[in-house]
């Protein structure tokens, strides 16, 4: 599916900004929801996206393409960070105190596997999720800046700091 979509758009003579628009609005969007739920081949997806953008080998570093236009960047999506943030959003959903039907069902299913503790040992998805959470928490603790204050306001007592 990805290769077919990229081949269709590669046949057109798009500018760099045109390709960037296609990447952000069509290609990445097809994987965003799935990536928030399942492990996805980020490396392969990134490779395909940048091969499409540059028609082969990267012309500049991938990090520089993420920068704003004012900093000579393309405002590209940082796929790794986007996927991490989508998955970290699940923590709030899982540990919120709301009585959503899906959450009650989720906790009911987890009880037969040892409850929420199962999340720490089971799948690659939750292993990555908890590792990213630890990295994010450590980063926030080390910086002690407005980001941490905004995070605590948003997450409230859930925040383990």
Q: Domain check: are 89 and 40 in the same one?
A: no
How many domains would you assign to the chain? Answer: 2
Q: Domain check: are 89 and 36 in the same one?
A: no
Q: Domain check: are 69 and 86 in the same one?
A: no
Residues 6+ apart with CB under 8 A from 16: 53, 74
Q: 85 versus 55: which is more confidently predicted? A: 55
pLDDT at 58 over 80: yes
Q: 73 versus 38: which is more confidently predicted? A: 73
Q: Domain check: are 86 and 73 in the same one?
A: no
Q: Domain check: are 31 and 64 in the same one?
A: yes
pLDDT at 52 over 90: yes
Per the prediction, the chain carries an average pLDDT of 75
What pLDDT, in 10s, does the model give residues 104-138? 666 666 666 555 555 555 567 767 776 777 777 66
Q: Domain check: are 92 and 61 in the same one?
A: no
Cα atoms found within 13 Å of the Cα of residue 94, Cβ hemisphere only: 19
Asked if residue 20 lies in contact with residue 75, where contact means CB atoms within 8 angstroms, the answer is: yes
Q: Domain check: are 92 and 57 in the same one?
A: no
77, 105, 126 - which closes a domain: 77
Q: 148 versus 74: which is more confidently predicted? A: 74
23, 49, 77 - which closes a domain: 77
Q: 137 versus 146: which is more confidently predicted? A: 137
What's the rounded mean pLDDT across residues 53-75? 88
Q: Name the residue range of residue 59's domain.
A: 2-77
Write down the pLDDT at residue 43: 86
Burial of 143 (0-12, 13-18, 19+ CB in 10 A): exposed
Write down the pLDDT at residue 159: 40
Q: Domain check: are 68 and 25 in the same one?
A: yes
Of the segments 20-24, 40-44, 156-160, which one has the largest average pLDDT value?
A: 20-24
Q: Domain check: are 72 and 48 in the same one?
A: yes
Asked if residue 161 lies in contact with residue 140, where contact means CB atoms within 8 angstroms, the answer is: yes
Write down the pLDDT at residue 114: 59
pLDDT at 70 over 50: yes
Q: Domain check: are 89 and 153 in the same one?
A: yes
Of the pLDDT bands very low, low, confident and very high (cuts 50, 70, 90), residue 12 is very high
């Amino acid at each position: 599916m990805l290769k077919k979509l990229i081949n269709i758009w590669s046949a057109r003579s798009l500018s760099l900004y045109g390709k960037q628009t296609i990447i952000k609005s069509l290609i990445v969007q097809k994987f965003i929801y799935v990536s928030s739920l399942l492990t996805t081949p980020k490396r392969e997806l990134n490779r395909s996206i940048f091969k499409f953008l540059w028609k082969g080998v990267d012309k500049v570093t991938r990090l520089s393409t993420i920068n704003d236009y004012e900093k000579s960047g393309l405002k590209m999506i940082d796929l790794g960070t986007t996927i991490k943030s989508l998955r970290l959003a699940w923590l709030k959903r899982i540990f919120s105190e709301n009585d959503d039907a899906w959450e009650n069902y989720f906790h009911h299913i987890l009880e037969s596997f040892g409850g929420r503790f199962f999340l720490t040992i089971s799948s690659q998805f939750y292993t990555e999720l908890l590792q990213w959470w630890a990295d994010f928490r450590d980063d926030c603790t080390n910086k002690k800046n407005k980001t941490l204050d905004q995070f605590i306001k948003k997450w409230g007592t859930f925040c383990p700091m």
